[in-house]
Structure 1
Amino acid sequence: MRRRIRTLLGAATAVLTTLACTVPATSATAADAAYDVLVFSKTAGFRHDSIGTGIQTIKDLAAAGDFTVTATEDAAAFTTANLAQYEAVVFLNTTGDVLNGAQQTAFESYIRAGGGYAGVHAAADTEYDWPFYGQLVGAWFASHPAIQQATVKVEDRAHAATAHLPQTWTRTDEWYDYRTNARSTAHVLATLDEGSYSGGAMGADHPHAWCKTLDSGRSFYTGGGHTNESYADTAFRRHLLGGIRYAAGRAKADCRPETGYTTLYNGSTSGWSQAGPGSFTNSDATLTSVGGLGMLWYSPKAYTDYSLKLDWRMAGDDNSGVFIGFPPSSDPWSAVNNGYEIQIDATDAADRTTGAVYSFQGANAAARDAALNPPGEWNTYELLVEGQRLQVLLNGVKINDFTNTDPARNLDGHIGLQNHGDGDDVSFRNIRIKELGGGGPTRTVQAESFSSAHGVQAFTKAGANNGQTLGYVDPGDWAAYNGVDLTGVTSVRARVVSGGAGGAIGVRTGSPAGPLLGSLAVPNTGGWSTYADVTTALSHVPSGAHNLYLTFTGTGTGLFDVDDFTLTASGGGGGPGPVVGLAGKCLDVAGGGSADGTRIQLWTCNGSAAQVWAVSGQVWRNPASNKCLDVAGGGTANGTKVQLWTCNGSAAQNWGVRSDRTVRNPQSNRCLDVSEAKPDNGRQIHIWDCLGAANQQWNRA
């Protein structure tokens, strides 16, 4: 029998369920639970004269906090039994090869089993020939210019190591260049502005501090800490303490790599409008709720498929929430009645406390409590919307998985922040969004739910969606999924995890040797508990239902696991083309007209310019007339006609493609509909309650 070459670190996957009792959101107290830290400062190369100062600083931090410190330069401390007594190990300005083979093995096992690592400055100048250490520290040292003043740009102001810092932090130290950019495998907390000093060699993206996970372990690294003066700097001391707290598991954070997000708020409120009473203060790139009951909402755009991330902090037992999926409105109750609120509240009923989809589905209480930082500290939400599925992640941990089945509500639409009322003080930072798959409809398939397979097996795994991954992946293996609708599909995204060599996933139809539609490169993600998304475009995809095959290539065995994969259709982008609806007929501009008010109708597909639509975001434009698909008069009632009109950016011209292939106008919360569900040529297109019926389903051809 083939065996996966990895350590099987398991825990039963928590079941997401709607809870029926009132529970506190967290049992955390203001002080950390006591913990123990090993500070290791052995050098086999250059020795920093600040090591003694650094050790004393960590001891001072411990005396004022809730941890004890053991300082050593004896590598014999790196045994399985001895390391087991520490929640974190600090590599303080270590250099060169400091551990032998047995010690390396013990330390790697300690980290993968849930231990913590904090690397300071020359920790990146250590163990160059040990690949695991390279993954752990994130990047190895390359060079440095002379000690001088520089500006540090703080990207993440929610992590315990950086939450206290301003957006730009000016200080003097020795500034490292690194052999590689850590951003691809770590979450970057701060970067260096090379324009603020002389001699930097990494360019515009120069990571300086970061965090990451490896299997169940945690890693933090800071490039600061060369000089004795660093350890007298209050801001640097807090930076160091926050990194140690994260490494020890006392401060929670989302340390997954993060790229491709667009800022909606990081100090500027451009595009944000207050609906209803109350307000938000805006200071230090931080929004804080005042009074209420109202909502600050982002009006320039409604979103369909996306990952929304934002940082939030409660002062105490406070109340707020994040609204999604509502039509544009100056009335905050429109969001309550048409969208969904993801709750922020320290204590309330289970379906109305932190992580709940308010009044609809409570969070997984155990997962939520384990991931939650207490009032007074920052937390990070990711709200992942794919079609009508919403996943809520708290500090990188999934705590809720909700599917909308209510035709009167939706997950696509606008985004807002609630200001709940007097005394409910909640702050927000760094609101950013990544649109997924061009806004088209998506279909997510659990990889372990294959119809047939060669070599691979389902593998029960903590952190996996649905509790399992497709595992035991070796070169030449494959998995088949029968009857997958590929109509309009243009890209695929897979959630993968690998502590092995990585490899590639081929996407094929018909057989394991069938036409290759695209290939996904899978890297080593940093460990067998560190998940990542990989994405690629697909080409020459056939329409209709087909048997889809994932084929696997690489070198060695135990390449990676696949958790799930998401197929995205071209509903929100791509080149101009026809839109096919009821009875295989097309969305058509009557008579090929170009005048404002020309009716939009159903007509036999004929390849004419009257049936060509260019979709950009939520706007559908007919290139021949250069005019847009529009709800007459901006109406919201059932039966309001759809027409051609000069493109004006109004809500009447917004259309969101849903996972069930319906097309919704967010302003009215109604769908593009063939009147009377009759396929006659010339049948008027109008808006109607979203029912998911055949006369409301549309496909890009």
Structure 2
Amino acid sequence: MPTKEPPVRALRRWAAAAAGLLLAAALAPAAAATGTTPTAATAPTPTAAATATATATAAVTADPAYRVLVFTRTGGFRHDSIPDAIAAVRDLGAANNFTVDATEDPAAFTTANLARYQAVVFLSTTGDVLDAAQQSAFEGYIGSGGGYVGVHAAADTEYDWPFYGGLAGAWFASHPAVQQATVRVEDQAHPAAAGLPAAWNRTDEWYNYRTDPRSTVHVLASLDESTYSGGSMGDHPISWCQDYRGGRAFYTGLGHTRESYADAAFRTHLLGGIRWAAGVVRADCRPETGYTPLFDGSSTTGWKQAGPGSFTLADRTLTSQGGLGMLWYAAKEFGSYSLKADWRLTGDDNSGVFVGFPASDDPWSAVNNGYEIQIDATDSADRTTGSVYGSKSADLAARDAALNPPGAWNTYEIRVEGEHLQVWLNGVKINDFTNTDPARSLAQGYIGLQNHGDADHASFRNVRIKDLGTVQPPAEPTGPVRGPAGKCLDVAAAATADGTQVQLWTCNATNAQQWTVRTDGTFRALGKCLDVSGGGAADGTKVQLWTCNGTGAQRWTPTAAGELRNPQSGKCLDVTGGNTADATKVQLWTCNGGTAQKWTLPA
């Protein structure tokens, strides 16, 4: 939330010359059909999917050069779309800086040869296509970090090879006639789906699979079986990804028809899968079940704007403008949970996700009482992407390896369990933090998205949460707080009015001496809190009973030396003059290690 510090880490350099490469790849079929390059005057009106693709990918820049092997051997049915598919992948490679080798020769599957490729595409292969030695070489390739892309009938391949079945994710069972259906895109952050509409209507041959892979893969898209005839799965994943035995695996059930490979949206889908499998872009491909949407793209019901600025809602995406402010989910407070959110920056922007703050329409309440998981890749270590702002840096090497550049989507998982907070970026754990600040608590609080300022533009989509169950709270002991001469911290006359003096008194087991030591750093008796009058810091400031209000004047931290320190003032709870007579007042005083500042807390 605070204004960004001067950058100390250089902004990543990405070649601007390739800013439109993916759009060019999407338009390639139109050029092939007419023999000319489309211009602003002659190009056909783009589809909604193509428009979304152009918008989503315009800022994405050139990948490093790499090689892809396309394997099309068939031991069963052979699709007549295979030549079109090979040509499409070659077009994508030429436009996106990867070289394509296509073969039907299984002899290409040797350890030495496979090491030349960042991804291997099984393109509508069928039946048994590799012998035992070739299978072993491919298993070693995946185990060494290689990438697999399975297209359509790749799921109708190698039924007697368990490794391959796990890699593909599911095997083919049956299919109805080719027909139109609606594909529900579930993850619009993954590069294979980032340019696609949430409801994608297209014509293809829709596979039913022998098993539902959802529990072991990350589903990118599924079929709405109510929109076509012949679906038999109910829950019907059709495109997915997974990290598999050291490598990366992407599969799409689309791609039966020749027309598919001239379709811009399908090409975008296929290109994203290749780029992710090759490891040039990152995404969270861990299985995901049990999440409830907080923002699903359709409305901001339950959310409130705190402070200046706002968020616009377009294309199922919230984009910040102005600030410093925060859009927070006011409908519910959360305890133990996993929060996931997809986010994207346009350049060197600043934003963040706030957790664990109390309800307030003042965005600075979240700064002062909660924690921000920062989004800003060029700030200092404790204020950069993945850091717990001002408290703990991310693992910067892991963060840098996982981070996608401006213009591309990233996914956070922020997992809160009690006072323990962990952060994953695109499926890679980059931070592990435990709150020890008595003025803050992660165990219960609200969630917010930051709009940082006029020059900062951050987008969010698909914000969802999963309840991790009740975490047993730490014990909050209740009993006497004993000070000098074994006497007790006491509320004068057991009165409950704000401002009642707190004093030293002979221990008597009354409620005026029963203090509950709360995990939030407060000490409570008679339903109210031990408080520094006026939030002062001067020696001799009165310590009193006051209505609990969450301020720093009511936070106390026990020290190893037996003191009770008020972090806001940096001073200690003290018995006036070191006296031990009943009714001696307690006060705030500079910590000095004397017996007048020694306290024993209830166990």
Q: TM-score, normalised by structure 1?
A: 0.61
Letter matched to residue 369 of structure 1: D
Among 246, 251, 263, the residue aligned to 1:221: 251
Distance of 2:246 and 2:600 partners within structure 1 = 47
Residue 381 (str. 1) matches residue 412 (str. 2)? yes
Higher helix proportion, which one?
2
Distance of 2:479 and 2:171 partners within structure 1 = 61
Alignment deviations for residues 188-213 of structure 1 (CA, whole Å, 9 cap, x no partner): 0000000000010001x100100001
Letter matched to residue 22 of structure 1: V
Tell me if the contact between 2:182 and 2:227 (Cα under 8 Å) persists in the aligned partners: yes
Residue 24 (str. 1) matches residue 10 (str. 2)? yes
Letter matched to residue 237 of structure 2: P
Tell me if the contact between 2:417 and 2:471 (Cα under 8 Å) persists in the aligned partners: no
Letter matched to residue 342 of structure 1: I
Shift of 1:25: 6.0
Residue 435 (str. 1) matches residue 459 (str. 2)? no
**Partner of residue 448, structure 2:** 416
Distance of 1:54 and 1:200 partners within structure 2 = 25
Letter matched to residue 225 of structure 2: E
Residue 306 (str. 1) matches residue 337 (str. 2)? yes
Shift of 1:437: 2.1
Distance of 2:528 and 2:267 partners within structure 1 = 58
Q: TM-score, normalised by structure 2?
A: 0.71
Distance of 2:126 and 2:257 partners within structure 1 = 16
Spell out the pairing of 1:459-538 with structure 2 (5 A cutoff): none
Distance of 1:195 and 1:48 partners within structure 2 = 27
Distance of 2:315 and 2:601 partners within structure 1 = 51
Among 176, 184, 187, the residue aligned to 1:153: 184
**Partner of residue 102, structure 1:** 133
**Partner of residue 253, structure 1:** 283
Distance of 1:188 and 1:696 partners within structure 2 = 51
Flag structure 1 segments of 5+ consecutive residues without an equivalent: 1-19, 443-486, 488-579, 585-603, 605-629, 643-650, 652-692
Distance of 2:158 and 2:12 partners within structure 1 = 40
Distance change (3 Å), C-alpha of 1:639 and 1:91: farther
Distance of 1:68 and 1:192 partners within structure 2 = 32
Distance of 1:382 and 1:120 partners within structure 2 = 29
Distance of 1:694 and 1:151 partners within structure 2 = 67
Alignment deviations for residues 18-72 of structure 1 (CA, whole Å, 9 cap, x no partner): xx99323646552111110000000000000000000000000011111000000
**Partner of residue 457, structure 2:** 425
Letter matched to residue 295 of structure 2: Y
Tell me if the contact between 1:25 and 1:365 (Cα under 8 Å) persists in the aligned partners: no
Letter matched to residue 432 of structure 1: R
Among 454, 474, 478, the residue aligned to 1:582: 478
Among 162, 179, 184, the residue aligned to 2:193: 162
Query: Helix, strand or coil for the counterpart of 2:233?
Result: coil
Distance change (3 Å), C-alpha of 1:64 and 1:366: same
Alignment deviations for residues 241-283 of structure 1 (CA, whole Å, 9 cap, x no partner): 0000000001101000011111100122111000000000011
Shift of 1:441: 3.5
Flag structure 2 segments of 5+ consecutive residues without an equivalent: 1-5, 16-60, 481-508, 510-526, 536-543, 551-598
Higher strand proportion, which one?
1
Q: How many residues align?
A: 448
Residue 337 (str. 1) matches residue 233 (str. 2)? no
Alignment deviations for residues 327-381 of structure 1 (CA, whole Å, 9 cap, x no partner): 0000000001111111111311121111111122111111001000000000000
Distance of 1:370 and 1:289 partners within structure 2 = 26
Shift of 1:440: 3.6
Distance of 2:602 and 2:204 partners within structure 1 = 62
Distance of 1:24 and 1:179 partners within structure 2 = 50
Shift of 1:582: 3.0
Distance of 2:600 and 2:232 partners within structure 1 = 59
**Partner of residue 510, structure 1:** none
**Partner of residue 55, structure 1:** 86
Distance change (3 Å), C-alpha of 1:347 and 1:190: same
**Partner of residue 46, structure 1:** 77
Percent identity of paired positions between Structure 1 and Structure 2:
68
**Partner of residue 64, structure 1:** 95
Among 243, 260, 263, the residue aligned to 2:273: 243
Query: Helix, strand or coil for the counterpart of 2:148?
Result: strand
Letter matched to residue 302 of structure 2: G
Distance change (3 Å), C-alpha of 1:36 and 1:386: same
**Partner of residue 200, structure 1:** 231
Shift of 1:438: 2.6
**Partner of residue 363, structure 1:** 394
Distance of 1:174 and 1:196 partners within structure 2 = 13
Alignment deviations for residues 263-309 of structure 1 (CA, whole Å, 9 cap, x no partner): 10012211100000000001121000011110000011111111110
**Partner of residue 263, structure 1:** 293
Tell me if the contact between 1:25 and 1:369 (Cα under 8 Å) persists in the aligned partners: no
Letter matched to residue 435 of structure 1: D
Distance of 2:433 and 2:13 partners within structure 1 = 25
**Partner of residue 539, structure 1:** none
Letter matched to residue 397 of structure 1: V
Letter matched to residue 23 of structure 1: R
Q: CA RMSD in A?
A: 2.6
Tell me if the contact between 2:322 and 2:451 (Cα under 8 Å) persists in the aligned partners: yes
Among 101, 107, 115, the residue aligned to 2:146: 115
Tell me if the contact between 1:390 and 1:401 (Cα under 8 Å) persists in the aligned partners: yes
Distance change (3 Å), C-alpha of 1:235 and 1:364: same
**Partner of residue 86, structure 1:** 117
Distance of 2:243 and 2:130 partners within structure 1 = 22
Shift of 1:696: 9.0
